[in-house]
Amino acid sequence: RLLLRDLQQGLDGQEFELHYQPIVEIASGRIVKAEALIRWNQPLRGVVSPGEFIALAEESGLIVPLGDWVFQQAAQQVAQWRTMLAPAFELSVNVSPVQLHASEQSVQDWIARLDALQLPGSALVVEITERVLLEAGKEADAKLQALQKANIQLALDDFGTGYSSLSYLKRFDIDYIKIDRSFVSHLTRGSDDTVLCQAIIVMAHQLGIHVVAEGVETQEQHEILHEAGCDYGQGYWYCRPVPASEFTERLRESLAGQK
Ligand code: G
Ligand code: G
Ligand code: MN
Ligand code: NA
């Protein structure tokens, strides 16, 4: 059983690491963005996936320092890739509702970090779920606004699952919708999920929102999404989440046009 003490030790002992999954521009096949996904290299258990510890981190409040670490690390990494390889590169980080309900200090620290790195806010995309918006009280609203004021972009993750209230799209200034992989994984020609994806893409574009399809695992899914005008794809078909050094190589190859 994972204990809070292990988690605290992990944070103190620098046992966490970010992996990066490419986000591909569907029309060109080029890597243009990435999502940062946390991994825990636990000395006794080996690699522990976030599914196993995020809930504990949220319940205990440790998600706040952990999430701050994720943001700082991601900012530093995207600054490096921008300087080294791709000046317009963007990196997504997942932010838990608990983080947005916690103190204002985090968001202020994030913005200070961007300034210190001389990085524009638009280099980072904060991924939130519909749950954040559902629960968005005044506090979370103020933080979302602070992020947007700093030009940090917002993505609505797991779109189509859960509460899916379209009114959020009107009330909040969303830059990206990420179509949940439960729709994408059943995409076959003529399927209901194909119709749903097409409709989401048309609606998003009309609202000026870009679309990322998650969990693309087959060439057929990629092609259906291409025909539907989907902007970006993410999934094992393109690449799994990989450590930073491997991602750098992938990005280099993609920029060189090799694929
Ligand atoms: O990476 P994986 O493949 O196992 O991710 C599982 C879940 O953990 C996903 O829902 C993802 O959004 C979440 N997750 C991954 N990294 C982070 C993180 O840095 N912060 C938060 N809050 N959630 C994360
Ligand atoms: O909830 P969120 O969308 O942030 O999490 C992304 C999760 O999806 C991560 O756990 C990541 O490892 C996983 N993932 C990424 N690509 C694929 C894929 O093609 N298939 C499946 N099943 N999972 C994927
Ligand atoms: Mn995500
Ligand atoms: Na998702």
Question: Mind listing the pLDDT tens digit for each residue in 21-33?
Answer: 999 999 999 999 9
Residue with tokens 């000395």: 43
Helix, strand or coil, per DSSP, at residue 98: helix
Domains of the chain and any CATH numbers: 4-255 (3.20.20.450)
Take residue 18 and report the two structure tokens written for it: 């970010």
Q: What is the pLDDT of residue 164?
A: 63
Based on DSSP, count helices (H) and strands (E) in the chain, helices before strands: 12, 10
Best probe residue, ligand 1, of 48, 54, 73, 100 (max atoms within 8 Å of C-beta): 54
Category of 126 on φ-ψ map: left (φ > 0), alpha (ψ -120 to 50) or beta: beta
Burial 213-242, CB ≥16 within 10 A → b, else e: bbbbeeeebbebbeebebbbbbbebbbebb
**Residues of the chain under the 70 pLDDT cut:** 163-165, 258-259
pTM of the predicted model as reported, rounded to 2 decimal places: 0.96
Residue nearest to atom 10 of ligand 1 (CA): 51
State the distance from the centre of ligand 3 to the C-alpha of 180, rounded, in angstroms.
9
Atom 11 of ligand 2, nearest CA residue: 241
Query: Which protein residues have their CB within 5 A of the ion that is ligand 4?
Result: 157-158, 214
Among protein residues, the one with the nearest Cα to ligand 1's atom 8 is 50
pLDDT at position 258? 59
pLDDT digits (tens, 9 = 90+) for 112-169: 999 999 999 999 999 999 888 777 777 778 899 999 999 999 999 999 887 666 778 8
What ipTM was predicted for this assembly? 0.96
Query: Residue 50 CA: which ligand 2 atom is closest?
Result: 10
The answer to whether 97 touches 140, Cβ cutoff 8 Å, is: yes
